[in-house]
Structure 1
Amino acid sequence: MALIHYVECNTTHASNFVVDVPAGAHWLLVITKTPALFWVHGGLKQYPAHSVVLYQPQQKVYYQACTGQFINDWIRFESSEPYITESPLPLGIPFALSDPDYCQKLLELLASEHHMGGDCKASSIDLLLRALFNKLWESYFQDNITPQYYKLLKLRTSIQTNPGEYWTVARMAGVLEISSGYLQNIYKKTFGLSCMEDVINSRIRMAKEYLIHSTESIADIAARCGYPNVEHFCRQFKQVTGYTPRNYQRQAKAGASPP
């Protein structure tokens, strides 16, 4: 289990903000939203926004603003759990965070549990911290996290959260302010499939859910999933799953396990 001493999210500091704790204290996790200077290997080094740094107890902590303002999330805590104490994450050395929005949500939930709490407060905090450290572990071992990657990730999250929207390559490229050809190239290189394949997969995944668990008509489900033309929906659904929507629905409700 873990004991949280303090946690703050999306905190804005002035341009002269400095944290200087030569002897350290408890475990400290800092996630930046703006560039910042960190004391690393005996000197100050600038790191970009969306950097994360973990300090162990009694380790020197020094970081400061280096732009007009400094914005960060941070949590100071105690824990003897091996997923923290034996973590392969570097100590006192910032690295790029692969999914800042996801981690911020986890920290917001940790803050809520810490400040409000309930009967399951301790176990909830432990589970949230485990999820957060899993994401940090993934980030540390992920290469080529660039500012462009964060934009692509936001786009992909929008696609998978709202697959029924009117998604086209041109529209997606416009969101990122790049050409359609460049978007298709970097999207597939980053995620291993094209942006439209991602749209189609997300729509079919959503359609499966409604086919099995709702009473809506095939036409209504098609429209909900971004297909104004029900014939096009049925054709694409069969291309992806091998079943027509109606047959998929029958198989699932009969207790079979279609893909």
Structure 2
Amino acid sequence: MVDISYDLKYSYIMVTITAVRHAYPENGGFKIARPNGHKDYTFLHFFTCMDITLGTKTFRTRPDACIVYDKTTPQFFSSETPVVHDWMHFSCTEEKTDLAGVPLNCVFYPVNGSFITYIAQELEREFFGDLPDRDKMLAAKFDELMIKLKRSVNDKTKPLAAETAAALEELRQKMFSDLSKNYTVEELARSVNFSPSYFFSLYKDLFGISPVSDLILSKINAAKNMLAFTDAPVLKIARQLGYDNVTHFLRQFKSRVGVSPSTYRSAAKAK
């Protein structure tokens, strides 16, 4: 719990954000058991599979599962393997059965949910930062998250052809499998025989994020894991992730996480 909160004039309800983290890592064996719920509403977005109990049923989610708990619903979720997830706690001025059309107390899977981590990252940066009008920005980003979740859950647009989607998924996994490499849009487009502009459009439509931003976010998330779970020097981490210029890494990390790598490491290890 962070002892900073903001009353946000959300379009539908008054909201107070009490804590938020994006792409937050947990060790294997991670487990949450809150039989009486939480004093605030809880939003969760899991990058990987998670075992969740709702009522009398326990089941394993697919990757990119989301859930918004109200204050009284018991929360039980766990994973034997390491976890990365976005999460947020917030309170409301009145009890709700949904939030702007986003369901409560049930697992759902947004289409192209990459936007969630980016908005959570921006919320985290504003929450812990000291920029002008941060309460207004927090309100706008919370609004954006709820609206995009609603749109994504109800997305009826025609999906990409299976062959094209599979090719882009394979390329994305290749990008993520070796984060020491750096790619240009032109190189990536050429590898799947598309023009750069067409490839950029397809990639963003499928994953909700541009190719280069997706790669940068993956590098930063990998850096966060190494900072939290190893004692590797920052310079070594930067080099392993393809940054020849450590100053560039430091700037990119802080611009996306809101704090320096050393500050992030200290906070993660103090947890």
Query: 1: distance between equivalents of 2:125 and 2:29?
Result: 29
The equivalences for 1:56-67 within 5 A come to 56-66=70-80
After superposition, what is the alpha-carbon deviation per residue over 1:81-115, rounded to whole angstroms, capped at 9, x for unaligned?
Answer: 89995433222211113233321111011001111
Aligned with 1:70 (options 83, 92, 104): 83
Task: Tell me if the contact between 1:167 and 1:199 (Cα under 8 Å) persists in the aligned partners.
Answer: no
Using the TM superposition, give the Cα deviation of residue 142 of structure 1 relative to its aligned residue in structure 2, in angstroms: 3.0
After superposition, what is the alpha-carbon deviation per residue over 1:135-166, rounded to whole angstroms, capped at 9, x for unaligned?
Answer: 2112211369899959748989xxxxx99736
Using the TM superposition, give the Cα deviation of residue 35 of structure 1 relative to its aligned residue in structure 2, in angstroms: 0.5
**What TM-score, normalized by structure 1, do the two folds share?**
0.55
Using the TM superposition, give the Cα deviation of residue 40 of structure 1 relative to its aligned residue in structure 2, in angstroms: 2.2
Query: 1: distance between equivalents of 2:135 and 2:141?
Result: 10
Return 5+ residue gaps in structure 2 as ranges: 1-7, 9-14, 173-182, 202-271
Return 5+ residue gaps in structure 1 as ranges: 157-161, 174-194, 203-259
Cα distance change of structure 1 residues 200 and 104 upon mapping to structure 2, 3 Å threshold: closer
How much is the aligned-residue C-alpha RMSD, in angstroms?
A: 3.9
Matched residue, 2:186: 165
Q: Which has the higher contact order (CA 8 A, sep 6+)?
A: 2
**Is residue 95 of structure 1 aligned with residue 115 of structure 2?**
no
Matched residue, 1:199: 198
**What TM-score, normalized by structure 2, do the two folds share?**
0.53
2:192 is matched by which residue type in structure 1? M
**Is residue 111 of structure 1 aligned with residue 110 of structure 2?**
no
Using the TM superposition, give the Cα deviation of residue 44 of structure 1 relative to its aligned residue in structure 2, in angstroms: 0.8
**Is residue 42 of structure 1 aligned with residue 56 of structure 2?**
yes
Task: Tell me if the contact between 1:11 and 1:72 (Cα under 8 Å) persists in the aligned partners.
Answer: yes
Aligned with 1:10 (options 15, 23, 33): 23
The equivalences for 1:1-259 within 5 A come to 1=8, 2-25=15-38, 26-66=40-80, 68-80=81-93, 85-142=98-155, 152=168, 165=186, 171-172=191-192, 199=198
What secondary structure does 1:58 align onto? coil
What secondary structure does 1:24 align onto? coil
Task: Tell me if the contact between 2:100 and 2:147 (Cα under 8 Å) persists in the aligned partners.
Answer: no
Task: Tell me if the contact between 1:4 and 1:78 (Cα under 8 Å) persists in the aligned partners.
Answer: yes
Matched residue, 1:183: none
Task: Tell me if the contact between 2:102 and 2:146 (Cα under 8 Å) persists in the aligned partners.
Answer: no
> Aligned residues: percent identity?
14
Q: Bigger CA drift: 48-57 or 81-90? A: 81-90
Larger gyration radius, structure 1 or structure 2: 1
What secondary structure does 1:34 align onto? coil
